[in-house]
A and B are shown apart, each in its own frame.
Chain A
């Protein structure tokens, strides 16, 4: 029986896919599970040091912002959260958005952290998702049921950094994409006006 054209095409496609993947270098020096877990353990130690330090809120928020820059891939997170408008934004707009977004995130979420003074946090697992790692941590507060925070970690930026956080199922990238979209809509798509709003928000 002659092989049909579609079958032949499929066969060719499959063969070329195999050839291409053979040519591609393996994900060299890929992020290991131990490195991903180590990074998140370090983040949590730093967060706890800040919340238990007894400093003023303003001082803590500044430290959270520095910590977010140090361990998080802020430019990638900001670009992803901005979505399609990031493609038409000028480099200057993109960098002022990134800076405003970093401060907004530190204020919005950093203020909630003081609740966790005295809480214990532990890395309880990790799993690979595509080429990234999900590090699972469990937070325990006295008198409350423990809850789970998942950190998505990647080395795609050239450094080992986290790029998303899932708190009891709530996906921060998804939440902030929606929020930044709503803020942009409120300004009828005017990115500069939205960046101004963002500096005052959170």
Chain B
């Protein structure tokens, strides 16, 4: 297919995803959690968890941190490096040139000196970088978070961030240099990175979320609070003053 047709097709998909946002269920102002699809979400939450426990024994109720593993470290480095061009695109779309430069240099250094991302010499130099995604770009552009969604296999998300994931796949600059097979390989490596991350922190997730009285609501709260923090949303209204309770 000629390049301009492929580009047009890509733009169409991006537009379709953005139009999908019009069908979003906006989070009402003041609401901390907006979960109109709770029963479907709970079903996917349970299914995802059962799948993880069956396919990744390391995530099945671990008592402590996993043994250090250079292989896991390497997979996380490679996956992060393959995602870095996306980070840069979103840094630019959010008008964050300084962050785009840091992530850009990380990609250059880790791809060359770091042997295609196997190592993270940029991190050792203090260039720790910062992940970014199109969901965050939509946030910067003023799009409402929408309803909370538990996605099949991918886990906790929101309507806005789920739309962002679709767009990210199409805006990836790596698409322009990789063949179809290489792109599939990159996808597999990035997902392996997610699995390696999941294993790395399995014990913390188990102790703080999955062992709780209602893991679904705990996962929802922790995900939303952490995501909003990442987006830099001012949550001043979520400040809890336990002393104020005793004043009345």
Contacts and interface: CB of A to CB of B under 8 A. Distances in A.
A89 interface: no
Given A143-B73, A179-B213, A168 B226 contact: yes
A173 interface: yes
Given A80-B240, A143-B73, A173-B240, A108 B245 contact: no
Contacts of A115: 65, 204
Contacts of A154: 243
Most interface-central of B129, B235, B242, B245 (chain A CB within 10 A): B242
B114 to A, nearest CB: 13
A79 interface: yes
B230 interface: yes
Interface in B63-120: 64-65, 73, 120
Interface in B9-63: none
Given A169-B229, A170-B222, A175-B222, A79 B242 contact: yes
A10 interface: no
Contacts of B123: 143
B229 A186 contact: no
A178 B218 contact: yes
Nearest to B230: A169
Interface in A169-197: 169-171, 173-175, 178-179, 182-183, 185-186
A164 interface: yes
Given A168-B229, A170-B225, A183 B213 contact: yes
A143 B123 CA distance: 7
A178 B218 CA distance: 7
A132 interface: yes
Contacts of A109: 208
Contacts of B236: 129
Contact of A171 (B240, B241, B245): B240
Given A112-B208, A183-B213, A174 B242 contact: no
Chain B contact-residue range equals 35 or more
Interface in A148-176: 152, 154, 156, 163-164, 168-171, 173-175
Contact of B221 (A76, A129, A130, A178): A178
B242 A163 contact: yes
B183 interface: no
A130 B239 contact: yes
A145 B130 contact: yes
Interface in A61-104: 73, 76-77, 79-80
A73 to B, nearest CB: 8
Contacts of B213: 179, 182-183, 185-186
A111 interface: yes
A166 to B, nearest CB: 8
B217 interface: yes
B217 A112 contact: no
A66 B141 CA distance: 47
Interface of B: 64-65, 73, 120, 123, 128-130, 203-204, 207-208, 211-214, 217-218, 221-222, 225-230, 235-236, 238-243, 245-246
11 contacts: A79-B242, A80-B242, A143-B123, A146-B128, A154-B243, A164-B240, A169-B225, A169-B226, A174-B225, A175-B222, A185-B213
